[in-house]
Amino acid sequence: MTAYTATVTVRLKRGVLDPEAETTQQALERLGFDLSDLRSADRFEVDLDAADADEAAARADEMAERLLANPTIHDYDVAVAER
Amino acid sequence: MTAYTATVTVRLKRGVLDPEAETTQQALERLGFDLSDLRSADRFEVDLDAADADEAAARADEMAERLLANPTIHDYDVAVAER
């Protein structure tokens, strides 16, 4: 078994309203920053032990499917690195 | 001017309690997943135009300092890519 960290990034699908990102962008603009868009995402770093990187990625993927992401409104991606 | 996307990742400093991450970890464990730790972070993807990557990174860094992160409890890092 090897120790891995799987990083799951969960973002809203294109077209889904994101009022938090919109408010953050407006606040930055009020502070004088010039930006054309801002998107927010959640990032989960999961430490787990697995036989190899493929198994770690498969388990993180299942965690995203079952709990971390809502497939109706979210896309996600998984990246695995040895810890 | 070139179009860049600056990704600002904001995490809680080590030692700061993270009840959301703790609850998420417990929920995954109840679903039968085996993991040793889980940390959550916020990720902001900021689209902006800048003369070069260094200028884009410097502006994203200032956004993090002034609004996106709370220096008392957060660490952050900035990564810049051409869009």
- Per-residue pLDDT, B2: 95
- Per-residue pLDDT, B25: 98
Cβ distance B38 to A47 less than 8 Å, yes or no, reads yes
Cβ distance A24 to B48 less than 8 Å, yes or no, reads no
Shortest distance, CA B9 to any CA of chain A (angstroms): 8
- Per-residue pLDDT, B27: 98
pLDDT in tens, chain B (83 residues): 999 999 999 999 999 999 999 999 999 999 999 999 999 999 999 999 999 999 999 999 999 999 999 999 999 999 999 99
CATH number at residue A37: 3.30.1280.10
Number of domains in chain B: 1
- Per-residue pLDDT, B79: 98
Nearest CA-CA partner of B67 in A50, A65, A7, A25: A25
Does A12 reach chain B within 8 Å, measured CB to CB?
A: no
| Whole-Å CA distances, A35 to A4, A45, B1, B11, B26 | 36, 28, 13, 22, 38
**Domain boundaries, position A40:** 2-82
Nearest to B43 among A37, A40, A46 (CB): A40
- Tell me what ipTM this predicted complex has: 0.90
Q: How many Cβ contacts (< 8 angstroms) between chains A and B?
A: 84
What are the φ and ψ backbone dihedral angles of A78, each rounded to 5 degrees? -125, 130
A69: closest chain B residue by CA: B24
Q: How confident is the model at residue A70 (pLDDT cuts 50, 70, 90)?
A: very high
Span A60-70, average pLDDT:
97
- Per-residue pLDDT, A56: 97
